[in-house]
Amino acid sequence: MAENTGKLAGRTIFITGASRGIGKAIALKAARDGANVVIAAKTDQPHPKLPGTIYTAAKEIVDAGGKCLPCVVDVRNESQIQAAIDAAVERFGGIDILINNASAINTVGTLATDMKRYDLMMNINTRGTFLTSKLCLPHLIKGKNPHILNISPPLNMKPHWFSNHVAYTMAKYGMSMCVLGMAEEFKQEGIAVNALWPRTAIITAAMEMLGGSDVAKQCRKTDIMADAAYVILTKDSRNFTGNFCIDDAVLKDVGVTDFDQYAVEPGHSLIPDFFLDADIPESAVEGEEAKSESFGGDSDTSKTLNAVKSMLTEELVGKVGGVFQFDLKGDDGGKYYLDLKNGGGALGSGEPADVKVDCTMILKTADFNKMFSGKLKPATAFMMGKLKIKGDMGKAMKLEKLLNTMKTKL
């Protein structure tokens, strides 16, 4: 891990969306140096499903050795941002660091994106980042080793990062474009403006609620982002600006070699995050040959379908609890359904007659076969743009439970 050095002692850090998750992890890392932390987030009352408020986070920060000012802030509201900045300056004498962490996500296609969701993402991600930066900049100019750090990705222009969720990509890339522009604009003032993005999925309360333990063990902990942010924020602001940083690369540069310490389950494969191109491991899963011959032909798809059908049990249905529709494109394509909600399960061609589909997956037949042979995880396929998902994302993640039980060699 990146050790605390005390370099942030007495520095004032304004963090949006820091009541939980990555934002809170960065706040706690800074607090261990004795930093002043301003939590600018919406949650002042307990959420029914997600833990933490600005006040519980503030207590943790103080217990870790820092000072804290919790402020109720919706980054869409200019007056709330300004009030929090004014309170921070009055309490701590200025602002040295801004971390734009608040974000909204909705990874669906154009036709499924309602304008309320579109506006939410654009107003929190792009507008909120620009506005908070604009209002903090007069104080950052006077700050000590001033930094702006946006939790946003590198600007990867490959079409598949747009085609599956163009609204979200536009909103998130807006944060990254703030880095590109403001780094150059404020270089002469000595203000560093950088971006930080995780290599892999990061486990947070929201991610855990959505996908459960099967997804959690494929993630890294928030500590890796906190350590990487700390390394960036303690660099000389005049000599490190305009960078799009990846968490583990930042840590490798300062000599960190043990990354199992950041894994939820050390040694387990990890889900790559959005906007980063990664190689898909091609190792096959060994096991018994499929015995069922319900689907004729010698094609890989027929073999896969027969193998899946042979694995259906009431126990498996109890674990997954969802009905899936597969819309396969390309050679040997077609529509197939997989009922893992009723009885002992069912698999057939076409659409299910008497049950509601929870989740539709659209992908190429080759990728479908890879998914069910263990060569391609659904979450990875989705992140890489190989898989489109309509409906219940939580059910899609639970499909991992089926794939983890497959013992078929294809």
Q: Which residues pair with 328 in a beta bridge?
A: 334, 363
DSSP labels, 138-181: HHHTTSSS-EEEEE-------THHHHT-HHHHHHHHHHHHHHHH
CB atoms within 10 A of CB 218: 24
* 399 close to 378: Cβ distance less than 8 angstroms: yes
Q: Which residues pair with 70 in a beta bridge?
A: 39
* Tokens 């980063």 -> residue: 276
Token digits for 351?
A: 């659409």
Task: Tell me if residue 347 falls in helix, strand or coil.
Answer: strand
From the candidates 118, 168, 262, 336, which is the catalytic residue?
168
* Helix 21-31 with 223-233: angle, nearest 10 deg: 50
**If you compute the radius of gyration of the chain from its CA atoms, what whole number of angstroms results?**
23
Based on the residue annotation, tell me whether 168 is a catalytic residue of this protein: yes
How far apart CA 354 and CA 278 sit, in angstroms, is: 40
Q: Which residues are catalytic?
A: 168
